[in-house]
Amino acid sequence: MNCRKCRAPLPDGAKFCPACGAKVSAEQRPKSRGNGQGTVIRRGSGWTAIVSAGYTMAPDGTMRRKRRSKAGFKTKKEAIAYLPILAAEPEQKKSITLKALYDRWLPTHRAGQATMNCYKAAWKYFAPVWMEKVSDIDIDDLQECMDSCPKGKRTRENMKALCGLLYKFGIPRHLTTINMGQYLIVGRGEGSGKDGIPVQELDKLRQNVGVVPYTDYVLAQCYLGFRPSELLELDISNYDRERNAFIGGGAKTDAGRDRTVTISPKIQPIIDRLTAGRDSGPVFCGADGTQMSLRAYRSAFYGVLAAAGIDNPTETKDGVERHKYTPHSCRHTFATLMKNVPAPDKDKLELIGHTSTEMLRHYQDVDIDALRRITDAM
């Protein structure tokens, strides 16, 4: 195309003739893209592609255009070429927490009141991952919630069903891509024989304490018997320094409430170091001093076992990976350590926080000296 005034060639998209400076009319400028096909703008040293994504209603009732964009293109041509791809992509939703997903699902589900009450009761046992992003939760996180559930098989069946409904609700809304509920195993529970870290492998962990980060956490869990969520929720205020025991704390369940756990001499130096000079805050905290997330602890756990040379094979089924040993395995190791210590069952049940202690607590006082004799002998 040429300038109407001087007939000099015009570059694509030019608003003024580079030869004579005459303004190029809108009719002369060819449209490279039709209306609604998107636009590109220069931001800093790169280019950004932008397309319309429909409209949304603002709080004041007016309609506002929604846009999707992708930045980082080196040239304008690359950004323009990406516009059709960007327009065809499904809208990406921001990752939301599991609790937010539950809150969105709950008012949409239609079932009898008795069924809904069962789902609501099952929901509380997913509390350790309520505030985790759905995109960050893996199958082991959910399975450990089920394995830690102190109730019977029916409740765990409801947990599996609820989980399936939540993920089924989220998939078409681009909140998740896979239904984790279908991979949960109902029958495992706490007494199902899930593998514990072999006792003979604990020496490998001891050798790495102070060398590999968080090895002390894993070793301590093996000698405390806390569920992963209980371990991470332990506050220094729960620690009785005079009696060297954790009183209460842990997960807010009937099984964990008012529970007393004495400290084995084999991990007493670890607990002393973690609680020194502090009156409150999580005992087993993250690098920034705040409560460690279940996912972060899981990642650290697998790294600790690998560094110690403890074989932890995985099994992948339908794209979902399961490990032989998970943080919950430490609880089973604790049970194994107690097995060979001669002591009344009621004292062992108190230490491990099993639901069978609920009735015992109504009739018997906790003898902390009896508990200490067990942990001293482990």
> CA 74 to CA 78: how far, in whole Å?
7
Q: Which two tokens stand for residue 323?
A: 């490990």
Classify domain 98-183 by CATH architecture. Orthogonal Bundle (1.10)
Place of tokens 């009785």: 240
Q: What is the mean pLDDT of residues 296-325?
A: 83
Residue-range domain boundaries for the chain:
39-85, 98-183, 199-377
What is the model's pTM?
0.59
The DSSP secondary structure of 211-271, one letter per residue, reads TSTTHHHHHHHHHH---HHHHHH-BGGGEETTTTEEES-SSSSTTTTT-EEEPPTTTHHHH
Amino acid of residue 314: T
Tell me the C-alpha distance between 308 and 331, whole Å.
19
Pick the CATH number of 199-377 from 1.10.443.10, 3.40.120.10, 3.40.30.10, 3.40.50.300: 1.10.443.10
- The answer to whether 98-183 and 199-377 have equal CATH topology is no
- Say how many residues make up the chain: 378
CB 228 within 8 A of CB 328: yes
CA 85/CA 50 separation, integer angstroms: 11
pLDDT tops 50 at residue 366: no
First to last CA, the chain: 89
**Is the model more confident about 44 or about 149?**
149
Instruction: Summarize pLDDT for 94-150 with one digit per residue, the tens.
Output: 578 999 999 999 999 999 999 999 999 999 999 888 888 888 787 878 887 887 787
Query: What average pLDDT is seen over the chain?
Result: 78
pLDDT of 364 over the 90 cut: no
pLDDT mean over 79-105: 77
C-beta neighbour count of 60 within 10 angstroms: 6
Write down the pLDDT at residue 33.
52
The band of 5, judged by pLDDT with boundaries at 50, 70 and 90, is confident
Q: Which residue has the higher pLDDT, 33 or 309?
A: 309
At residue 48, does pLDDT exceed 80?
yes
